Amino acid sequence: LTIAYAVESDLDPADFIDVLQRCSLGARRPVGRPEQIARMVQGASLVVTARDTGRLVGVARSLTDFSFACYLSDLAVDEAYQRGGIGRELIRRTRDACGPECTLILRAAPASIDYYPHIGMKRIENGFVFDRQK
Ligand SMILES: CC(C)(COP(=O)(O)OP(=O)(O)OC[C@H]1O[C@@H](n2cnc3c(N)ncnc32)[C@H](O)[C@@H]1OP(=O)(O)O)[C@@H](O)C(=O)NCCC(=O)NCCS
């Protein structure tokens, strides 16, 4: 199985919706509101993809200045492809694209709480959030 990784600047929002729906993140992202999804893709600063013969099977969507901070907002891997190293590679490439001066920060979905420490990330205790209002 050969997975092709790339930084993509014009990901098709329909492909993004599709891969979200092929993992548990689909229930936690606004897949029923395509115009909001389109703004998420449009406004992202870094999108790293994993494709199997053209088909999107993994994505890491981040907001970053490529200098100081990178907020990894959505990491999704098609259920049929999970535990094959794709998530780890998407994060590695995200960090690589941002450079060593950049901190990578994320909010874990319930299904991935044990994943991030497993791949070497440190838990932070100083995170705060205003929940979205709608
Ligand atoms: C969480 C997710 C991104 C992981 O991607 P993945 O490609 O399946 O993971 P990898 O193959 O890179 O896994 C790397 C290691 O973590 C382990 N791992 C994978 N998923 C795990 C999980 N949910 N909990 C704990 N460990 C996990 C793997 O077994 C592997 O271990 P090893 O290196 O000892 O063999 C993916 O399962 C997913 O999309 N889940 C649903 C959506 C989600 O929760 N996304 C995160 C939102 S913030």
Radius of gyration of the chain (CA): 14
Low-confidence ranges of the chain (pLDDT < 70): none
Confidence at residue 60, expressed as pLDDT on a 0 to 100 scale = 99
Q: Which tokens belong to 10?
A: 């014009």
Candidates 46, 35, 24; CA nearest to 112 is 24
Tell which one of 115, 118, 121 to mutate to probe ligand 1, the residue whose CB is within 8 A of the most ligand atoms.
Answer: 115
Distance, in Å, from the CA atom of 88 to the CA atom of 94, rounded to the nearest integer, reads 10
Confidence at residue 134, expressed as pLDDT on a 0 to 100 scale = 86
Longest dimension (CA), the chain: 42
Kindly report the number of other CB atoms within 10 A of residue 37's CB atom: 18
Confidence at residue 1, expressed as pLDDT on a 0 to 100 scale = 79
Confidence at residue 130, expressed as pLDDT on a 0 to 100 scale = 97
Ligand 1 lining (C-beta closer than 6 Å): 23-25, 75-77, 82-88, 106, 108-109, 111-112, 114-115, 118-119
Residue 3, H or E segment = none
Confidence at residue 84, expressed as pLDDT on a 0 to 100 scale = 97
Kindly report the number of other CB atoms within 10 A of residue 85's CB atom: 13
Confidence at residue 99, expressed as pLDDT on a 0 to 100 scale = 97
Tell which one of 29, 82, 90, 116 to mutate to probe ligand 1, the residue whose CB is within 8 A of the most ligand atoms.
Answer: 82
